[in-house]
Amino acid sequence: MTTPATIRGIGAHVGSRVELRGWLYKQRGKGKLAFVHLRDGTGVIQAVATRDQLGEETFARLKGLQQESALKLRGNVRADERAPGGYELDVDDLEVVAPAAADYPIAHVSDQGIDFLLGKRHLWLRSSKQHAVLRVRNEVIKAIRDFFYEREFVLVDAPIFTPAACEGTTNLFEVAYFEDKAYLTQSGQLYMEAAAMAHGKVYCFGPTFRAERSKTRRHLTEFWMVEPEMAWATLEDVMDLAEAFLEAVVARALERCKEELKTLERDTSALERVRRPFPRLTYDEAVKLLHDKGLPFEYGNDLGAPDETAISESFDRPVMIHRWPAAVKAFYMARDAANPALALGVDVIAPEGAGEVIGGGQRSIDLADLERQLEVHKLPREAFEWYLDLRRFGAVPHGGFGLGLERLVAWICGREHVREAIPFPRTIYRKEP
């Protein structure tokens, strides 16, 4: 009797004979004995094969297999301290499903260059750390959906094709749209504002495109963004939501991705400190902090990456910076009643140099102000008529934020670069594979 099994759940099969299906990860020959590491997507197990057990011909066939050959192995499961992973399979039968070619390019002990690895991303996904990162991404996505579902936010998908910019400041990808032109979305927010007036609390979660010529470890041209939006919300409500959100998602990853974070050699102490409340600084306080640290910073500018890092180093958890000079923020930001020069926006800076993971705020509901801001930002009025309608028909205070999924996943996984946090990254000079 042979039971199909997966490597992750192999502990339940000790003492019985199972069949494992997977790919040859590593093989160490030892004369008439062979150690075979089999990878099945759920984990890696060490299998032991002997010539006496398998017979001369099958044993020779096993030893001739290349890394990544697809196999079925059958045999008894045994707990063994000598095996990495704690369990071992005594192979008594081998089925070669698809032998791999001899020139598998990805080395296990990888000091390979990033250019090479990204070019082989379709194969790089199989290696243990990349595998772990995508498992964490999977869990983070589930945690995000659960978080909003439990709080009665309604998922409302925003369109990918859009008629114009959501924000005037960044570049858009233009695509042919029959006899017309369209643009790939750079944010679903404006649509979420419409949806919030229909459902109260909503969010969207989908791909976002930015044709920015950015070449940094924090940028992709295609990335996934989560954008909740709440009717009847103030800036303070948005900040409350943002910190509850980060606390919940990080806690979930810590709870359910222990193995993956271990594989990634992630020191989780910074993640364990992601607990409410987060420090909240006004922009003015943040600028003062920079000046106290001796950094040259001109009041009124946006914070650069080094400034963000300097601020986050003063705290042991994510920092929220709010009430920004309106001039550096998007056209739709509401003004602070106490000081109209300030916009009711908030950025959340993650620790460890991970940078800005969340940007959001309270939206302007003043029709005349928005009309003026569209002109100031040189945005085409016609394309925003529908958006202005939202202010004509029952506008209430509302707000929300956008979170970059890859920045969050990269930070949780302790990866330097966001490109490892998405299966097939798109950057300015790379769209293959």
Partner RNA sequence: UCCUCGGUAGCUCAAUGGUAGAGUAGGUGGCUGUUAACCACUUGGUUGUAGGUUCGAGUCCUACCCGAGGAGCCA
Report the site for RNA in 78-97 (rule: CB under 7 A). Answer: 80, 82-84, 88
- Binding pattern for the stretch 150-189 against RNA, x by CB under 7 A and - elsewhere: -----------------x-xx----------------x--
Residues 325-364 that bind RNA (CB under 7 A): 328, 330, 355-359
Q: How far is the CB of 265 from RNA (least distance, A)?
A: 13
**Member of 55, 277, 304, 433 binding RNA (CB under 7 A):** 304
Residues 228-287 that bind RNA (CB under 7 A): none
SS3 145: helix
**Member of 74, 131, 201, 218 binding RNA (CB under 7 A):** 218
Q: Please tell me the distance from the alpha carbon of residue 200 to that of residue 264, in angstroms, as a whole number.
A: 40
User: Position 140: which residue type?
Assistant: V
- Indicate the residue among 256 and 427 with the shorter CB distance to RNA: 427
Q: How far is the CB of 216 from RNA (least distance, A)?
A: 5
Rg (Cα) of the chain, in Å, rounded?
A: 26
In sequence order, the 6+-apart residues with CB closer than 8 A to the CB of 380 are 164
- Indicate the residue among 256 and 377 with the shorter CB distance to RNA: 377
Q: How far is the CB of 408 from RNA (least distance, A)?
A: 8
Q: Is 296 in the site for RNA (CB under 7 A)?
A: no
> How many residues form the binding site for RNA (CB under 7 A)?
75
SS3 405: helix
Instruction: Specify whether the CB–CB gap between 327 and 300 falls below 8 A.
Output: yes
Opening angle at CA 156, ends 152 and 158, nearest 5: 150
Dump the DSSP string for 85-107: TSEEEEEEEEEEEEPPPS-----
Tokens of 281: 């600084």
- Indicate the residue among 271 and 303 with the shorter CB distance to RNA: 303
Instruction: Specify whether the CB–CB gap between 159 and 185 falls below 8 A.
Output: yes
Residues 92-121 that bind RNA (CB under 7 A): 102-105, 107-109, 111-116, 118
**Member of 74, 131, 266, 407 binding RNA (CB under 7 A):** 407
Residue 337: half-sphere exposure toward Cβ, Cα within 13 Å: 6
- Indicate the residue among 31 and 394 with the shorter CB distance to RNA: 31
